């Protein structure tokens, strides 16, 4: 499978954002996910993580958070 230069750029931002997210740096992670979306606006995973970042910015997870997102609605 050949990955376009555009998608490679998106992946750079996505991977950086995911690292920030797992480090509980939700504001910074959100900004990095948004950079990926600026390149590829249809990137579903980045959109999803932006929503999760917003949730955790508003209501941070507990200190012993293991990175698992618990859905609030079904």
Mean pLDDT of 12-41: 97
Contact (Cβ atoms closer than 8 angstroms) between residue 53 and residue 30:
yes
> Mean pLDDT in the chain?
92
Those residues whose C-beta lies under 8 Å from the C-beta of residue 21, and which sit 6 or more positions away, are 29, 49, 52, 53
Sign of CA dihedral 57, 63, 69, 73: negative
Task: Tell me the whole-structure pTM to 2 decimals.
Answer: 0.88
User: For the chain, what percent of residues have pLDDT higher than 90?
Assistant: 74
67: closest CA among 2, 33, 21?
21
pLDDT value, residue 10: 93
pLDDT value, residue 54: 97
Contact (Cβ atoms closer than 8 angstroms) between residue 16 and residue 42:
no
Mean pLDDT of 46-70: 92
């Amino acid at each position: 499978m050949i990955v376009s230069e555009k998608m490679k750029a998106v992946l750079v931002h996505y991977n950086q954002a995911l690292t920030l997210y797992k480090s509980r740096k939700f504001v910074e992670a959100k900004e990095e996910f948004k950079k990926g979306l600026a390149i590829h606006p249809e990137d579903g995973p980045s959109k999803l993580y932006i929503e999760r970042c917003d949730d955790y910015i508003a209501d941070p997870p507990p200190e012993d958070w293991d990175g698992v997102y618990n859905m609030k609605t079904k």
